[in-house]
A and B are shown apart, each in its own frame.
Chain A
Amino acid sequence: MTAAIRYDEVETGTEIGERTFPVRRVDLVRYAGASGDFNPIHWNDRTAKAVGLPGVIAHGMFTMAEAARLVTDWVGDPGAIVEYGTRFSAPVVVPDDDEGAEITVSGTVKEKRDDNQVVVALTVRSGGTRVLTRPTVVVRLA
């Protein structure tokens, strides 16, 4: 379990890049199957609108999984992650077309801690709106 990034190489304020991930209806269907979360608001417009949502929305856990990739690809080893948490502040509405929606993730080292751990603050947007509130990853570097 070794991160590819050395603790000594990063400082508070170090940016770890930006990535954009697509999310289409088929991705939500596939995620429902893989995760076991078949809540119909994630695949059925009729249900989503009946409960007051603008339309089918992505699973929060799908968005959270995409956001994590910025950090796991940065450090190389997903086993280096110590904590990961977020609040879900706005839905990622996924239209029923070929393009779907996009999730854009960027991250900055917010704090260096003992034991080679750093706190990465993520920013996660879709359609210009922040969809996660204070998504934060604590990761142990080499």
Chain B
Amino acid sequence: MAINRAFLGRAYPAPEPYEVTRGKIREFAEAVGDANPLYSDPATARDEGHPDVVAPPTFPIVLGMAGAGRAITDPELGLDFSMVVHGEQRFRYSRPVRAGDLLDAVTRITDIRSVAGNELVTLESEITDPDGAHVVTAVNMLVVRGAAEGGSGSGDAAKEGAA
């Protein structure tokens, strides 16, 4: 099923700010096997000039998922989650996410297009602090395999995304 182009440009503000806790950062760092003390020890983080422990660089995907989840689960969008692989991911940081942050996120559908029988959907999440200052932007391109009109539906994910 093709992705509904009417969704291009739609914005999905997170329903409430995301509260970043030491426990969540520690859980995420442990899940990726990273023992960097800046993720777990507030004293070490302060010695490095951070107000509290910081999060690993890919942690903002957690906030992006929260926002993108509302976008991509809308049945009108026509996105079959079981056929999704991750095509591309980019982060631009103004500063690291850290414990104690209360972060707003707005996720926009910035691109929908067909390539080689797959549908490519790009989601851009802008993450800001309570004063509106930019913290990080996460750009996430999803590949819906075989979803384009006339798409082959083949399992060849390697061309456009594979994770």
| Given A35-B61, A61-B86, A65-B32, A81 and B93 contact (CB-CB distance below 8 Å) | yes
| Interface residues as binary, A52-92 with B (CB distance below 8 Å gives 1, 0 otherwise) | 11000111111111101100110011110111111111111
Contact check: which of B56, B157, B161 meets A65 at CB < 8 Å? Answer: B56
Per the bound structure, the CA–CA distance linking A50 and B33 in Å amounts to: 30
A90 & B158 in contact (Cβ 8 Å cutoff): yes
| Given A2-B49, A59-B163, A81-B57, A53 and B155 contact (CB-CB distance below 8 Å) | yes
A40 at interface by CB-CB < 8 Å: yes
B158 / chain A contacts, CB cutoff of 8 Å? 89-91
User: Whose C-beta in chain B lies nearest to the C-beta of A40?
Assistant: B82
Per the bound structure, the CA–CA distance linking A67 and B54 in Å amounts to: 18
A83 / chain B contacts, CB cutoff of 8 Å? 90-93
Contact check: which of B30, B54, B86 meets A60 at CB < 8 Å? Answer: B86
Task: Name B1-42 residues within 8 Å CB distance of A.
Answer: 27-28, 30-34, 36, 38-39
Quote the shortest CB–CB distance from B117 to chain A (angstroms): 12
B155 / chain A contacts, CB cutoff of 8 Å? 51-53
Quote the shortest CB–CB distance from B121 to chain A (angstroms): 14
A34 & B28 in contact (Cβ 8 Å cutoff): yes
B129 at interface by CB-CB < 8 Å: no
B38 & A36 in contact (Cβ 8 Å cutoff): no
Task: Name A87-114 residues within 8 Å CB distance of B.
Answer: 87-92
New contact pairs (19) apart from A69-B34, A86-B90, A87-B161, CB-CB < 8 Å? A1-B95, A30-B30, A41-B85, A51-B82, A65-B32, A65-B56, A65-B58, A73-B36, A77-B38, A79-B38, A79-B50, A84-B90, A88-B87, A88-B162, A88-B163, A89-B162, A91-B157, A91-B162, A131-B163
8 closest A-B pairs by beta carbon, nearest first, are A52-B155, A60-B163, A85-B90, A34-B31, A60-B86, A88-B163, A65-B32, A79-B96
Residues on A close to B: CB < 8 A? 1-2, 21, 27, 30-31, 33-37, 39-41, 47, 50-53, 57-66, 68-69, 72-73, 76-79, 81-92, 131
Q: List 15 A-B contacts (CB under 8 A).
A: A1-B95, A21-B33, A27-B33, A30-B30, A36-B65, A36-B66, A39-B84, A61-B89, A66-B32, A68-B56, A72-B34, A78-B36, A78-B56, A83-B91, A89-B162
